[in-house]
Amino acid sequence: MTIHRGIRGLWLGVLTALIVAAAPITAQEPDAGEIDPRLERIRAELPEGVVERVEARLEAALAEGLPVEPLLDKAVEGIAKRVPPPAIAGALDQLAQELGRAQSLLADGVPPTPTDVAAVADAMRRGVPEQAIQRIAQGAGPEEPLAMAVHTMGDLMDRGVPVEQAVSVLEAWRSRGARVEELRQLPAAVDRLMRQGVLPGQAAAAVANAIRGGPPGSQPMLDGQTPGMSVQGVPPIGPGAGPPAHPGGDDKGGGPPDDIPPGGGG
């Protein structure tokens, strides 16, 4: 048993080095010889058979060029919530499949970044259709924040905006130069009109029209009174109806509730 754990510890160190090499460089990146604390916790708190399954999943993800950060985070989240170990392993298998599908959607020439792959997988879990993601991805410029754009589309749909109108808003944003600071304001701009009693799809259409009508470089989203945005002729919601709730989160976006099952396995 001591020899087996020693071999696994050596392998774990190699896996950590690969994860560090594959992860985006940050100011707090661990030293090359330092074992990721998430891996240490997985090994310390899960049964040996589940640990081997998790390690195999991480190794396969690295080999396929998939981001491993979401897998590590999902495993640690399951441990913290006392999810049964087999269910944790099953959740990682499902997440890996979602990441693989997201990667295939973005596989058009330049390999997608791990951040973009993870963002697309999250958007699909939130209900953003694959065809809409492909439309956004195929028109993206080399410096465009694709991950944030896909996330914003999920935020718009959370507010009840239909898919076509959500895509139209993002295409309008792109036509003005794809500015990050504008992108952050799109859901809030839709919210402002919805608070006036405008239906989500009509609010999104008004925002898209206002963006297209503004000169490049201006900031129509930042002052709370979008120039050119008119709600004249837009029928208000009937009495007592009110704007729809945001099923997936708040003004910041937020995803759906955690998808690790409370029990069972995989």
Each residue of 164-209: pLDDT tens digit?
999 999 999 998 888 888 898 999 999 999 999 999 999 999 999 9
CA–CA separation, 89 vs 212, rounded Å? 47
Pair 182, 173: CB distance under 8 Å: yes
Pair 266, 87: CB distance under 8 Å: yes
Sequence-distant (6+) residues with CB within 8 A of 9 are none
Cα distances (Å, whole numbers) of residue 188 to 127, 251, 264: 20, 7, 40
Cα distances (Å, whole numbers) of residue 255 to 1, 31, 152: 42, 32, 11
Categorize the per-residue pLDDT at 16 as very low, low, confident or very high, splitting at 50, 70 and 90.
low
How open is the CA angle 237-241-245, to the nearest 5 degrees?
A: 105
Overall size of the chain counted in residues: 266
Instruction: Quickly tell me which residue has 């897998």 as its tokens.
Output: 71
Each residue of 132-176: pLDDT tens digit?
999 988 878 878 888 999 999 999 999 999 999 999 999 999 988
Name beta bridge partners: 108: 110
pTM flag (> 0.95): no
Pair 163, 201: CB distance under 8 Å: no
